[in-house]
Chains A and B, each alone.
Chain A
Amino acid sequence: MNLKDQIRSMDMDNIVEMCINQEQQAIDLYTLARDQAKDDTSRQKFQELVDMETVHKVSLKNFEIENYLELPPADLKITDYLMDPVLKDNMTIQEIIILAAKREDKTARMYQDLADHFHFDKKLNTFFQMMADEELRHKHDLETEYENEFLQEG
């Protein structure tokens, strides 16, 4: 059964739980990368990512669809054309930000696809749109950080 069919058979609590698991997978990945990183600055950056995903996970547990504000952030597309970095123990901060931004982009696209697919169901559509926007917001923040540090062309 594909993801969309699975979602049709789930209630809202199960769907939220599925999304929380998605966040947990990201937390687990960044935690592993943090623990394997060779230098302090990379560990620090991975910890920031763990914290970011943890905040999102907690907010999902307490989410209210009524509180959703339709304010999707601009997609800067800065990392869209960059190469996918390989997860390793000596990643540079530049690679870590690209990796994380690309993950956020991929997840945002998945949620946007689900939001579009369930356009007929107001509750599901709003929920997935909210999730897509949140992932895009993370991507926006990461790309802003990337631009400020790595694209100053000075």
Chain B
Amino acid sequence: MKRERPQSFNTVPMKERMIIPRQDMPEQDAGLRSTNFLEVNLGLRPEQAVVEAQRCIECKSPTCMDGCPVNIKIPDFIQLICKEDFIGAAKKIKEDNSLPAICGRVCPQETQCEEVCVMGKRFEPVAIGRLERFVADYAMQHGNGSVESFEKPKSTGQKIAIVGSGPAGLAVASDLIKEGHEVTVFEALHEFGGVLVYGIPEFRLPKSILREEVATLEAMGVKFVKNFIVGRTMTIQELMADEGFDAVFLGLGAGLPRFMNIPGENLNGVYSANEFLTRSNLMRGYEFPEWDTPLYRAKHAIIVGGGNTAMDAVRTAKRLGADEASIVYRRSEEEMPARNEEIHHAKEEGVKFMNLVNPIEFISDDQGSVVAAKCLRMELGEPDESGRRRPVPMEGSEFVMDVDMVVIAVGNGSNPLISQTTPEIETNKWGNIVADEDGRTSMDGVFAGGDIVSGGATVILAMGAGRKSAIAINEYLKAKVGSST
């Protein structure tokens, strides 16, 4: 369907827009920030945001929306920024994305909306992510737009349980509360947000922003229940049969850490990224001693992996006081799945990169603590199925280096609790829940989306899956009412 172009408020002549430089995000000084947990990026200033918005050339057929997994009306909100209607712009984004302040910070825009921005073909793309973050923050600071405009619809009397308060669960909650359903979010941990709270450090996503988003949903009528483990505290069957929930959405995420299966992974000082980041983020180890969660201050911490989780872990280790913090990655930097921005920031903060190196054993002292890592050097061979060149060990390249902390960040799998307690729900061989594109599982009334279905992915993809499921749940509930009348 052809979209109508939004009204233009851009007063800059077309030719001049192309020579406006992309606006840099102000950020904390690298030397200073590597010793604190305050946010690295400081956000665009209002005048910068307007200038950046004026770079948009208002394409007849904009491609930016196609690059967004939740199809935010990007051209529309950019025009509202040109008009300096920042609250209006935030409301426009919230029509499609309930967590813009979060997505503006953690989405990989360079491979989504900004990658397909027409400006990017000849010049630098419009900084859509920075603009999204700017208006979301502005709206928060000046009275949250979505609550003011939210009129609670007439109750349908139908109850939905959402299991997991990560990005997928929050997206479903936001969409279904607007339909008049009773929505309850069950969270296993003692704080809401899932991976956003336990996985992403304060310096990349301040938790106050997440709490604000959760508070907004609460104000809209969503109930939040913490310390509730579905599958232990209560099963899905019990939620539906005993508690009267008409439908259940499973947004459990992929929180089961994977290890390498090499000798020494059980030594003291060897963590999974999941444990290390949870200790620092959720358990506030970064605020020790105010918060009673000690974390080891390493002489040399190595983080094994090359994704965003590895970057979060290595930058956390550095901030916790490690004399030296290194990424150990078995491929080259070109193949790293981490965002360029995260790699760039890590380097600025003094993180060392040991690429084409793979640990094969961790060595202990007589107390069972890690003191060294035995590694192999790798060389790149033929590309694998993902197109990344495959690393192959180099003969005779073995070496040992001193380390006193290791964090394994090679990926996560799905928690088997639901599949063990609800055999009606089909899972694949990796333990992920099998669901159709609208999130329907093999169990009637149960839907699933996000990492528990797709395996580890991005925040916005999980939200996109949640939004699709919300539509399907709504249709399911309408049909349920129809069939019972």
Contacts and interface: CB of A to CB of B under 8 A. Distances in A.
B485 interface: no
B409 interface: yes
B361 A81 contact: yes
**Most chain B Cβ neighbours within 10 Å, of A93, A94, A144, A151:** A151
Given A152-B337, A153-B305, A153-B410, A82 B393 contact: no
Contacts of A39: 416, 419-420
Contact of A154 (B262, B307, B420): B307
Nearest to B410: A153
A121 B316 CA distance: 61
Nearest to B329: A153
B429 A44 contact: yes
A39 B381 CA distance: 36
Name the prevailing secondary structure of the B interface residues: loop
Contacts of B427: 40-41
Nearest to B337: A154
Interface residues of B, number: 39
A45 interface: yes
A63 interface: no
Contacts of A95: 261
Contacts of A65: none
A92 to B, nearest CB: 8
Interface string A66-104: 000000001011001111010000000111001000000
A40 B426 CA distance: 10
Given A83-B261, A154-B309, A41 B384 contact: no
Contacts, number: 75
Contacts of B258: 94, 150
B265 to A, nearest CB: 9
A148 interface: yes
Given A44-B429, A147-B384, A82 B261 contact: yes
Contacts of B416: 39
A153 B407 CA distance: 12
A66 B54 CA distance: 71
Nearest to A154: B307
A149 interface: yes
B117 to A, nearest CB: 24
B420 A151 contact: no
A153 B420 contact: no
B360 interface: yes
A87 to B, nearest CB: 15
B129 interface: no
Contacts of B336: 153
B429 A83 contact: no
A87 B266 CA distance: 20
Interface in A94-122: 94-95, 98
A76 to B, nearest CB: 7
Contacts of A44: 429
B456 interface: yes
A153 B430 contact: no
Contacts of A45: 429
Given A153-B307, A153-B310, A153-B411, A77 B428 contact: no
A82 B384 contact: no
A60 B386 CA distance: 33
Interface in B164-183: none
Interface string A119-151: 000000000000000000000000010011111
B354 to A, nearest CB: 14
Contacts of A153: 305-307, 310, 329-331, 336-337, 409-411
Given A41-B431, A74-B381, A153-B410, 18 more contacts: A41-B427, A41-B430, A44-B429, A76-B392, A81-B262, A81-B360, A83-B262, A83-B263, A93-B430, A93-B431, A147-B384, A152-B307, A152-B456, A153-B307, A153-B310, A154-B308, A154-B411, A154-B456
Interface of A: 39-41, 44-45, 74, 76-77, 80-83, 85, 93-95, 98, 144, 147-154
6 contacts: A74-B382, A81-B376, A82-B262, A83-B263, A93-B429, A154-B307
